[in-house]
Amino acid sequence: MPDPGARGPSVPAPPSEPAGTVPDVPTPSAPDLPIPAAAFALAAMPRPPVAHPFPPSTGTPPAPPSEPAAVPTAARVLGGPTGLGTTALSLAGSGAVAPSEPASVSEPVIVSAPAIAPGPQRVLGGPSGLGTASLSLASPASPAPTSHRPSPEPAPAPPAEGQAVPGLYHHPVPEPDPVRVEEVSRRIKRWAEDEVRLYPEEWEGQFDGFSIGRYMVGCHPDAPTVDHLMIAARLMVAENAVDDCYCEDHGGSPVGLGGRLLLAHTALDPLHTTQEYAPAWEESLGSDPPRRAYRSAMDYFVRMATPSQADRFRHDMARLHLGYLAEAAWAETDHDPEVWEYLAMRQFNNFRPCPTITDTVGGYELPADLHARPEMQRVIALAGNATTIVNDLYSYTKELASPGKHLNLPVVLAERRQLSERDAYLKAVEIHNELMHSFEAAAAELAAHCPLPSVVRFLKGVAAWVDGNHDWHRTNTYRYSLPDFW
């Protein structure tokens, strides 16, 4: 580890951008961004054929199918339709105004939630103008006009390399904006190296191979500016630093993990103590790379988040750390969990803190009382559970090749269900698909019963994160490769 040095009580203001750097890139107006039709009861749109049929569980496996073509963006449009009478349905226009100038990290940039729509039927029924039949959240009384159809949309960019898991239910996404990807990648590396001294020189290749710029741009297509994307990027990098350095690849161990996690958590949820002991705690926040990263990332986050958004994130990070501790305890006691026990652990040790900040990264706020509703919590939990199984599937060969025993869903299924490695893997795909369908059904039900613009936009943001997370796993061939089961 590099010498951390002493840290003061606050993170220095971000250094000015050197000459010649790319300025903050505002969101293009009304972009065509994919949002799953099923998640919002868009019954008029046919489902894209992206879930390949399962190969048989016995016999000679068929050859893997080629990566499906990108789904037409009409099925999943964040910016809303472009036909007549669709203005009120746009979520990228008047509902959430992107700032014309780059956001400053020293001031909150939270856009108020859009005003409540005129009434449930206006939202559920959708507009009645041309080109809007597929946007209806309720069954239309009559078919939409077929004349004067809008011009066909341009073909999306070809997908990046990488093969999707055969049989995995997912939605293709457009290629992330390359300008934003490059700028987020540049800024996050400078933050990691200069501000928090995150890794030694020999880890640089692994940091670059993580492709954090592509990851965050793909998961947050409605972020108003690069500054907003950087909120998510710093937190993601910090969370992975804690996982790697405390739990897994770079010196992690289950022994003593609880103490390390608790002290690191105080970088997110600060200690309130006496004047005598506060300086020692402040100094501890700069004692290792994970705590420096947590502290700095959280400092940037709270400048752009509301107090309720910041507290929501702290709560979800406590959930994550609890999941880490459960897995560590099983490792120390040589406990082989039942399948349901493993799934319970993974509901905590999962990606939940990432999609739950989609409104902060989007520059608006889902009110705390709406976020806390049981129906919304179920949607978020199912999204986190499904995306975590995606990680289990794509990291399967990577973890098998690593020293020691790594718990993942196929491994647990093979042990507890007495399945072959291949059949256990295919069963894990089935479990993922069921979780995804449950997520989309729960989101559709919530959108129908509570069609407030802020709720619908948040649900779309979570769905976009789910899809972007899969696409990053699929395309990150530096980290992941599929098993030879097909």
The per-residue pLDDT for range 222-279, each reduced to its tens digit, is: 999 999 999 999 999 999 999 989 987 666 789 999 999 999 999 999 999 999 999 9
Residue type, 265: H
- What is the third-level CATH fold of 178-475? Farnesyl Diphosphate Synthase (1.10.600)
Cβ atoms < 10 Å from Cβ of 322: 14
How far is 323 from 385, CA to CA, in rounded Å?
12
CA distances to 49, 68, 69 from 72, in Å: 11, 12, 9
Best CA proximity match to 312, nearest among 458, 212, 120, 197: 458
Percent of the chain residues topping a pLDDT of 90: 63
How far is 306 from 159, CA to CA, in rounded Å?
36
Q: What ranges do the domains of the chain cover?
A: 178-475
HSE at residue 232, side-chain half, CA atoms within 13 A, is: 34
Cβ atoms of 364 and 446 closer than 8 Å? no
3-state secondary structure of 405: coil
pLDDT at 40 > cutoff 80:
no
Q: H helices within 168-224, ranges in order?
A: 178-190, 204-209, 212-219
pLDDT at 201 > cutoff 60:
yes
Residue type, 315: H
Which of 135-139, 202-206, 319-323, 332-336 is the least confident region? 135-139
State the chain's maximal CA–CA distance in angstroms. Answer: 76
Torsion over CA: 295, 301, 302, 306 (sign)? negative
Spatial CB neighbours of 288, under 8 Å, sequence gap ≥ 6: 1, 4, 245
- Quick one: pLDDT band at residue 476, thresholds 50, 70, 90? very high
Cβ atoms of 461 and 358 closer than 8 Å? yes
Residue 32 DSSP class: -
> For the residues 17-38, what does the mean pLDDT come to?
44
How far is 238 from 233, CA to CA, in rounded Å?
9
pLDDT at 186 > cutoff 90:
yes
Residue 148 DSSP class: S
CA distances to 37, 213, 307, 468, 470 from 167, in Å: 19, 28, 42, 18, 14
How far is 486 from 422, CA to CA, in rounded Å?
9
Token pair recorded at residue 150: 């809008």
pLDDT tens digits for range 315-366: 999 999 999 999 999 999 999 999 999 999 999 999 999 999 999 999 999 9
pLDDT tens digits for range 72-90: 333 443 344 343 333 333 4
Residue with tokens 């256990």: 424
pLDDT at 50 > cutoff 80:
no
| Strand (E) or helix (H) holding 257 | helix 257-265
Which of 51-55, 127-131, 200-204, 291-295 is the least confident region? 127-131
**pLDDT, position 285:** 97
**pLDDT, position 404:** 75
The separation between CA 282 and the C-alpha centre of its own chain, rounded to angstroms, equals 31
pTM confidence score: 0.71
**pLDDT, position 187:** 98
Residue with tokens 């395309």: 475
Q: Which residue has the higher pLDDT, 91 or 308?
A: 308
